[in-house]
Structure 1
Amino acid sequence: MRNRTRVTGPAAVLFGTAAALTLGAPTASAAPRPAGVPGPETLGDPVFPNLGNDGYRVSAYHLDLAYDASTRLVDATVTLHLTTTEALTRFSLDALGLDIRTVRVGGRNASFEQAGEKLRITPATPLPAEARATVTVEYGADPRRSLAHTAWVPTPDGFAVCPQPHSAHTVFPCNDHPSDKADFTFRLTVPSGLRGVANGRLTGTENLPGDRTAYAYRSRSPLATELVQVTVGDYVIKERQGPHGLPLRDVVPAARAEALEPALALTPDIVRWVEARLGAFPFETYGLLPCNSDDVNAFDFTGLETQTLTLYKPAFLLQEEKSIGSHLMHEVVHSYFGNSVSPGTWADLWLNEGHADFYGLLYRYERGWADSLGLTTMEARMKDTYARGDQWRATSGPVAAPNEATLFDSQRYLGGVLVLYALRNEIGEDVFNAVERAFLTRFRNRSATTDDYIAVATEVSGQDRSGFLRDWLYGTRTPRMPGHPDWTVTPVTPALVAPQHRASRPHDNSATL
């Protein structure tokens, strides 16, 4: 841990912290003591080591975006409320492809530079440890800008955003890591005739000069940056009621609202099914956003679980129920695993995707719908998956040890389901269900790691499960399946074991399709 030095003078007044006077003036031969250090530009994520920043934690963001339909550009201001964890002479935010105009810290202009995907900020006065500070960044953005990776999805009438896993900072400067969840409010100013929508609930609408409308939103629960949704377009809002009075709102392209209604009407029963297994829905609202784009280049996956509002490709939702129902369930389950409880690191993605596929498959098989392999039971699908276990471990790594290229491989999806299936067989269905609920309750509105899940499984089951789960999650060979000693693993084919250099996108490999 770095030494922390208290700051005297204006900084102590500005940030409301206690400051100790330095005894004696420095002499010509004595170097002045540093008022802090530059904050680390990483949180040490094992998959994305350059993502996130240390030295502070963010408690809240206010995102103010104004969209110009004639230029298709965005003028924006983001305000962050943060608390330092050590004395800082400089700190950084993640930012890529944004035209930064001004930065203020505590209301005072700060110097800044953009270096790679970092926005380095040097406040007028160093920040003491454990100080609260307000950071305001004014910037411009072009949703159509070509970048190495981007969250922007341009549409004919506006845009939506797909931040997962590491692209929220192409939309707004932030500490872009799921371990630093924060409160969010939004103000979206758009031409009248279009609608701006964000996470959470609408808190106000204001008509402005120049035939413009501002929409304000607030999320009741904290968000990880990768779960932020901001969309502008020619949308209508369709409201309905879910179980226990849960407000449901769908944000639907006006021209396709009638055609999409059969899919949207499925949500109440889907939420009811998952609540019976995982407990009350964790957020203040839920709904679907069929983004007004079927462009496979801009939007090359089926769905994405931005918090309280799942993004979908509209054409996918025009299919019959048995073709989309289990995927709708997959995304609703993400409200619990992935959103309410976010991954502590991106190596913990299997907690999100394994659980979402696990319950999505259960939902499918309960209804007698065959899966993509023509199988109709969980046991049959898991036997098939088990046979592939060693091959997947060779090509994609163990379930809980991905790298950037293999992050969204089937190993995190079906491989994660196999781990959960093995645990349920080992400890019994009732104890397994108790583990699931205990984990969700303990880490609600927080981030959790694989170690956290192992600890809860051990505590709730009353027996140390760490060796069992670590073999399944980190082993290079697939363990024996409890209850199925006859199941066999297909030997690894050396010709299929090769480095992967592709950039996977979320949900390409969902088993529920």
Structure 2
Amino acid sequence: MRYRSRVTAPAAALIGTATALTLGPTAQALPTTGRATGRDGGEGDGTPGPETLGDPVFPALGNAGYRVSSYHLDLAYDPTTKLVDATALLRIRTTDDLTRISLDALGLDIRAVHVNGCTAAFEQADEKLRVTPATPLRAKAHAVVCVEYSADPRRALPHTAWVPTPDGFAVCPQPNSAHTVFPCNDHPSDKADFTFRVTVPQGLRGVANGTLVDTEPLDDGRTAYAYRSRSPIATELVQITVGDYQVKDRQGPHGLPLRDVVPTARAAALEPALALTPGLVEWLEARLGAFPFETYGLLPCNSDDPNAFDFTGLETQTLTLYKPNFLLQEEKKIGSHMMHELVHSYFGNLVSPATWADLWLNEGHADFYGLLYRYERGWADSLGLTSLEARMKDTYARGDQWRRDSGPVAAPNAVNLFDSQRYLGGVLVLYALRQLLGEDVFHAVERAFLDRFRGCSASTEDYIAVASEVSGQDQSGFLRDWLYGTRTPRMPGHPDWTVTPVATSFAAPHSLRGGHYHDNSATL
């Protein structure tokens, strides 16, 4: 028998439930019904909203005409059918007069859509869910969109965020697959507040980003877990997981609550790796400032199936998803990788990329600090090198070849987005800037960038502007040569470094899913 959850309740009831979770102490509930009016007070006409945000790497991703202020995701897992019954409630604010909005959605079986409590017409086309409200939406108006649907985590799709496990699932949305889990404006430039309700049968646990705010036993023996994130989340950083997990709490620096979500059967074996986190956080806080979120922890996904997911570790906000067997290795095999993923709490999560062409800001920084952590401890890297200078000299020699094979550091495409040029190539750019500015000014640039764009998205040009302002000199020419040039510039402080001539037989190593499949990463 298929379980039923509150997700199938009338849309108006869901709006009330979500309001209680999502509204802060000074917020006001939005009206759930009403007729949209035009700018002149009459009925609005408008046009269908554009079905793109114009991303240079994924041009079909995202939707213009509105911004999402919050999501409430209500999911119920049925272990018998392996299906998920769900409702996504989005609070949006329009930027234009709209007769229709679109959401990103793929592989979801949509049952009903309501806008401001009224039934809305909808259609699914390719990876879009087109929603036509009963009345047009005026510009700069608030609206509530409620989508009722079901999903099969095992469904074969062109790409998917679902990671089926023997006892449930986890999700890995990066870069462009959050919309296989819930309808959304699937682009990191449109960060939003999130609340979650995950309903599971007895013996399983539901987990999501943020902090557990309620555990509700239901009459039918199931349990509903409610979570709230204190900070906005990019869709690619959402985590929802269900399985036979236990939560292990510990304390980090300055009383930071640390939460690990661990397969019950492997909790003891994984403890040595989990115990490393407080020291990693302390080391990174000394360089980048106080940890930016309400909690952090690891989620060793309850599956070692090599075909289940093609990465070793993946950052999702407040949790890092791992293959559990990876974390069973000795510290020098995993420590710098764990640092890499922790750095994403700052670069990638706190400050998200404005477009996917800005990915080097995430991955270059993660590898940069991961390498520093490694070499401070005398751990040789995958090339047998034991210093950042030695590794950068080796990377510098490959510079022109990588630029030919993978394009400039800040100009990727969908095929080479997650290859070494965005990782080690990004490290080389940061190393060059540090060589030019000196360590003190460089670290001042890093902190200023994080402070200025906290909770937002930022572009490569934003980083260049901060570097220029903090250093007191225009760094645009220097950094644009490093980030967009087809030839590798001279390295400050190392006039003797040379670039190997381009050859047709050599190519930059490619990862399967970015730096998350770290067999090619600098940090292993």
TM-score category (smaller protein): over 0.9
Q: Which residue of 2 aligns with 1:69?
A: 79
Aligned mate of 1:229, from 231, 234, 239: 239
Deviation at 1:300, TM superposition (A): 1.1
Q: What CA distance in whole angstroms lies between the structure 1 residues aligned with 2:192 and 2:73?
A: 12
| CA contact 1:405–1:504 (8 Å) conserved in 2 | no
| CA contact 2:418–2:511 (8 Å) conserved in 1 | no
Q: What CA distance in whole angstroms lies between the structure 2 residues aligned with 1:114 and 1:267?
A: 43
Q: Which residue of 1 aligns with 2:492?
A: 482
Aligned-partner SS, 2:34: helix
- Sort the Cα spacing of 1:369 and 1:311 in 2 relative to 1 into closer, same or farther, 3 A: same
Give a deviation string over 1:324-361, Cα, whole Å, max 9, x none.
00000001100000000000000000000000000000
Aligned mate of 2:34, from 14, 26, 47: 14
Q: Which residue of 1 aligns with 2:15?
A: none
Aligned AA (1:512): T
Number of residues of Structure 1 aligned to a counterpart in Structure 2:
492
Q: Which residue of 2 aligns with 1:138?
A: 148
Aligned mate of 2:406, from 396, 399, 408: 396
Give a deviation string over 1:194-240, Cα, whole Å, max 9, x none.
00000000000000122100000000000000000000000010000
Q: What CA distance in whole angstroms lies between the structure 1 residues aligned with 2:245 and 2:33?
A: 47
So what's the TM-score if we normalise by structure 2? Answer: 0.92
Deviation at 1:18, TM superposition (A): 7.6
Q: What CA distance in whole angstroms lies between the structure 2 residues aligned with 1:247 and 1:486?
A: 48
The answer to whether residue 369 in structure 2 is matched with residue 349 in structure 1 is no
Aligned-partner SS, 2:433: helix
Deviation at 1:254, TM superposition (A): 0.3
Deviation at 1:20, TM superposition (A): 2.5
Deviation at 1:503, TM superposition (A): 6.4
Deviation at 1:246, TM superposition (A): 0.2
Q: What CA distance in whole angstroms lies between the structure 2 residues aligned with 1:426 and 1:396?
A: 25
Q: What CA distance in whole angstroms lies between the structure 1 residues aligned with 2:41 and 2:473?
A: 54
The answer to whether residue 218 in structure 2 is matched with residue 212 in structure 1 is no
Aligned AA (2:153): P
Aligned-partner SS, 1:494: coil
Aligned mate of 1:330, from 327, 332, 340: 340
Equivalent runs, 1:36-75 vs 2, <5 Å: 36-75=46-85
Aligned mate of 1:315, from 325, 331, 335: 325
Deviation at 1:160, TM superposition (A): 0.1
The answer to whether residue 289 in structure 2 is matched with residue 279 in structure 1 is yes
Give a deviation string over 1:173-194, Cα, whole Å, max 9, x none.
0000000000000000000110
Deviation at 1:264, TM superposition (A): 0.1
- Sort the Cα spacing of 1:418 and 1:144 in 2 relative to 1 into closer, same or farther, 3 A: same
Q: Which residue of 2 aligns with 1:89?
A: 99
Deviation at 1:14, TM superposition (A): 2.1
| CA contact 1:164–1:506 (8 Å) conserved in 2 | no
Aligned mate of 1:467, from 453, 469, 477: 477
Aligned AA (1:282): P
Q: Which residue of 2 aligns with 1:112?
A: 122
Q: What CA distance in whole angstroms lies between the structure 1 residues aligned with 2:95 and 2:39?
A: 16
Aligned mate of 1:507, from 503, 512, 516: 516
* Between 297-306 and 466-475, the greater mean CA deviation after superposition: 297-306
Aligned-partner SS, 2:249: strand
| CA contact 1:12–1:19 (8 Å) conserved in 2 | no
Aligned-partner SS, 1:272: helix
| CA contact 2:364–2:426 (8 Å) conserved in 1 | yes
Q: What CA distance in whole angstroms lies between the structure 1 residues aligned with 2:316 and 2:507?
A: 34
Q: What CA distance in whole angstroms lies between the structure 2 residues aligned with 1:501 and 1:233?
A: 32
- Sort the Cα spacing of 1:140 and 1:240 in 2 relative to 1 into closer, same or farther, 3 A: same
Q: What CA distance in whole angstroms lies between the structure 1 residues aligned with 2:408 and 2:510?
A: 17
Superposed structure 1 runs of 4+ greater than 6 Å apart: 15-18, 500-503
Aligned-partner SS, 1:437: helix
Q: Which residue of 1 aligns with 2:177?
A: 167
| CA contact 2:38–2:97 (8 Å) conserved in 1 | no
- Sort the Cα spacing of 1:464 and 1:442 in 2 relative to 1 into closer, same or farther, 3 A: same
Give a deviation string over 1:100-144, Cα, whole Å, max 9, x none.
000000000000000000000000000000010000000000000
Return 5+ residue gaps in structure 2 as ranges.
1-30
- Sort the Cα spacing of 1:121 and 1:18 in 2 relative to 1 into closer, same or farther, 3 A: closer
Deviation at 1:294, TM superposition (A): 1.1
| Alpha-carbon RMSD | 1.7
Aligned-partner SS, 1:79: strand
| CA contact 1:12–1:18 (8 Å) conserved in 2 | no
The answer to whether residue 190 in structure 2 is matched with residue 180 in structure 1 is yes
Aligned-partner SS, 2:316: coil
Q: What CA distance in whole angstroms lies between the structure 2 residues aligned with 1:454 and 1:510?
A: 25
- Sort the Cα spacing of 1:21 and 1:74 in 2 relative to 1 into closer, same or farther, 3 A: closer
Q: What CA distance in whole angstroms lies between the structure 2 residues aligned with 1:502 and 1:44?
A: 25
Q: Which residue of 2 aligns with 1:3?
A: none
Aligned-partner SS, 1:305: strand
| CA contact 1:35–1:126 (8 Å) conserved in 2 | yes
Q: What CA distance in whole angstroms lies between the structure 1 residues aligned with 2:41 and 2:434?
A: 60
Aligned mate of 1:156, from 157, 160, 166: 166
The answer to whether residue 447 in structure 2 is matched with residue 427 in structure 1 is no
Equivalent runs, 1:360-439 vs 2, <5 Å: 360-439=370-449
% same residue: 79
Q: Which residue of 2 aligns with 1:5?
A: none
Aligned-partner SS, 2:470: helix
* Between 291-300 and 398-407, the greater mean CA deviation after superposition: 291-300
| CA contact 1:199–1:219 (8 Å) conserved in 2 | yes
| CA contact 1:12–1:128 (8 Å) conserved in 2 | no
Aligned AA (1:231): T
Aligned AA (2:383): L
Aligned-partner SS, 1:135: strand
Aligned mate of 1:266, from 272, 276, 280: 276
Q: Which residue of 1 aligns with 2:3?
A: none
Q: What CA distance in whole angstroms lies between the structure 2 residues aligned with 1:366 and 1:423?
A: 20
Q: Which residue of 2 aligns with 1:29?
A: none
Deviation at 1:21, TM superposition (A): 5.2
- Sort the Cα spacing of 1:348 and 1:102 in 2 relative to 1 into closer, same or farther, 3 A: same
Q: Which residue of 2 aligns with 1:194?
A: 204
| CA contact 2:67–2:92 (8 Å) conserved in 1 | yes
| CA contact 1:47–1:403 (8 Å) conserved in 2 | yes
| CA contact 1:15–1:131 (8 Å) conserved in 2 | no
Return 5+ residue gaps in structure 1 as ranges.
1-10, 23-32
| CA contact 1:151–1:163 (8 Å) conserved in 2 | yes
